[in-house]
């Protein structure tokens, strides 16, 4: 009897160690992710509790290729193919916070890229609609978001300049590619009182992160500081 107990205790310990190892091994990036939130996001002035929580949870390393996984939690952009980049974590946090999102909101994103920003939004709001002009990126992001279990994100392969009429109006719009003007169709598809954020200015060098709020059909603009994004292509390049 006594011997049996010892065997059971021994087996329990082995089982516990196995499970503990498995739990840690299943997310080897947990501590890097928490450092990113503490040092590069909270440490640089982001206060929105929801944004901090969400970015401390989403496996950012799964939004980049294998060779970049180990650097996925460093505070800089990374290549995602087709010459495009996943934005730096601090900028993702800054733009998301500026939108002052509510759980009931419906948000439009232009420039799906890796799908990371869309995932951040999807954890906070009710519905996310995201448009990507490069087909391979749109397909990859759609699959990735599906695999991660996001059911409230719709990915469309199209030129985001024209927005997504079918689901308009939106409570907030985020453009994650540089443009030299705000596409008029997007202002139209923004709700009264709604917020739109984008890197506005030269598409070659750096831009000014700009927040626009729609008031009586017009927009009030606030400048938030310099950023560097890849250019918005398509119609936005042709028209000023
Ligand atoms: N938000 C992304 C990063 C965006 S990089 C992320 O979290 O990973 C900018 C993306 O905008 C690129 O993937 C680029 O292909 C896309 N893009 C450029 N012009 C666009 C347009 N007119 N409509 C939609 N997407 C566009």
The full set of domains in the chain, from first to last, is 2-237 (3.40.50.150)
List all residues 6 or more positions away from 129 whose beta carbon is below 8 Å from its beta carbon: 106, 107, 108, 109, 153, 154, 156, 164, 167, 170
Give SS3 for 35: helix
Q: What is the pLDDT of residue 101?
A: 98
Atom of ligand 1 minimally distant from the CA of 87: 3
Q: Given this model, what pLDDT does residue 238 score? A: 86
The answer to whether the beta carbons of residues 206 and 226 sit under 8 Å apart is: yes
Catalytic residue among 12, 87, 136, 202: 87
CA distances from 120 to 103, 115, 239 (A): 12, 9, 31
Residue 11, pLDDT score: 86
**What is the pTM (predicted TM-score) of this model?**
0.91
Q: What is the pLDDT of residue 191?
A: 98
Question: Ligand 1 within 6 A of 227 CB?
Answer: no
What's the distance, CA 105 to chain centroid?
A: 16
Catalytic residue flag (residue 87): yes
Q: Which helix (H) or strand (E) holds 116?
A: helix 116-124
Cβ of 232 less than 6 Å from ligand 1: yes
Out of 87, 93, 111, 173, mutate this one to test ligand 1's pocket (max ligand atoms within 8 Å of CB): namely 111
CA dist., res. 55 & res. 36, Å (int): 9
What does the alpha-carbon distance between residue 231 and residue 224 come to, in Å, rounded to a whole number?
A: 19
Residues in the chain predicted with pLDDT less than 50, given as ranges, are none
Cα–Cα distance between 72 and 75 in angstroms, integer? 8
Which string of DSSP letters, residue by residue, matches 143-193? HHHHHTT--SEEEEES-GGG--GGG--EEEEEE-SBBSS--HHHHHTEEEE
Predicted pLDDT at 8:
86
């Amino acid at each position: 009897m006594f011997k049996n107990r010892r065997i059971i205790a021994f087996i329990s310990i082995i089982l516990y160690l196995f499970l503990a190892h498995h739990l840690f091994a299943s997310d080897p990036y947990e501590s890097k992710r928490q450092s990113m939130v503490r040092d590069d996001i909270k440490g640089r002035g982001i206060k929105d509790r929801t944004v901090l929580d969400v970015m401390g949870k989403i496996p950012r390393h799964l939004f980049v290729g294998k060779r970049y996984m180990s650097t996925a939690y460093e505070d800089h952009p990374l290549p995602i193919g087709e010459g495009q980049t996943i934005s730096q974590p601090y900028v993702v946090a800054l733009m998301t916070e500026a939108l002052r999102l509510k759980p009931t909101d419906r948000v439009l994103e232009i420039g799906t890229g890796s799908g990371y920003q869309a995932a951040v939004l999807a954890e906070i709001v009710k519905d996310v609609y995201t448009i990507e002009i490069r087909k391979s990126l749109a397909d990859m992001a759609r699959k990735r978001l599906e695999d991660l279990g996001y059911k409230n994100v719709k990915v469309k392969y199209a030129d985001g300049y024209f927005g997504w009429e079918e689901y308009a109006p939106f409570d907030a719009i985020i453009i994650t590619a540089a443009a030299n003007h705000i596409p008029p169709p997007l202002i139209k598809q923004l709700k009264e009182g709604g917020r739109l954020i984008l890197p506005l200015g030269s598409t070659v060098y750096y831009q000014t992160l700009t927040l626009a709020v729609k008031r009586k059909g017009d927009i009030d603009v606030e400048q938030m500081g310099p950023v560097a994004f890849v250019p918005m292509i398509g119609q936005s390049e042709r028209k000023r």
